[in-house]
Amino acid sequence: MSWRTFFAMGGYAAYVWSAYGFATVVLLWNVVSAVRKRRAVLAMLRELALAGQTPKETGRATLLSE
């Protein structure tokens, strides 16, 4: 099978590749947002620590406002 026939998907290229493209975006978003969320928490706690403050035990809006 040539690359051209592979990408043509028997005439359904627009549907097949849009679907796979969308799913890829969803999966990548999941990884990136999960990693960034944890890093954001760490960065914020680090800033608090550098400012010499102890984080409060409750309330998350201040810490997790995204």
Partner 1 sequence: MYKYASPKNFYALAGRLIPWLGAVTLLLFIAGLYLGLYVAPPDYQQGDSYRIMFIHVPSAWMSMFVYMMMAGGGLVGLVWNIKLADMLATASAPIGASLTLSALVTGSLWGRPTWGTYWVWDARLTSELILFFLYMGFIALQAAIDDPRRSARAGAVLALVGVVNIPIIHFSVVWWNTLHQPASIGSLGKIVSPSIYPSMLHPLLIMSVAFFLFYFTVLLIRMRGEILARERHTGWVAEIVRATPEIRGTHP
Query: Which residues of this chain interact with partner 1, rule CB under 8 A?
Result: 1, 6, 9-12, 15-16, 18-20, 22-23, 26-27, 29-31, 33-35, 37-43, 45-46, 49, 54-61, 63-64
Tell me the one-letter amino acid at 59.
G
Distances (CA, A) of 18 to 1, 57, 59: 21, 45, 41
The DSSP secondary structure of 38-63, one letter per residue, reads HHHHHHHHHHHHHTTPPPPSS--HHH
Closest distance of CB 8 from partner 1, Å: 8
Closest distance of CB 28 from partner 1, Å: 10
Taking the least distance from each CB to partner 1, the nearer of 4 and 38 is 38
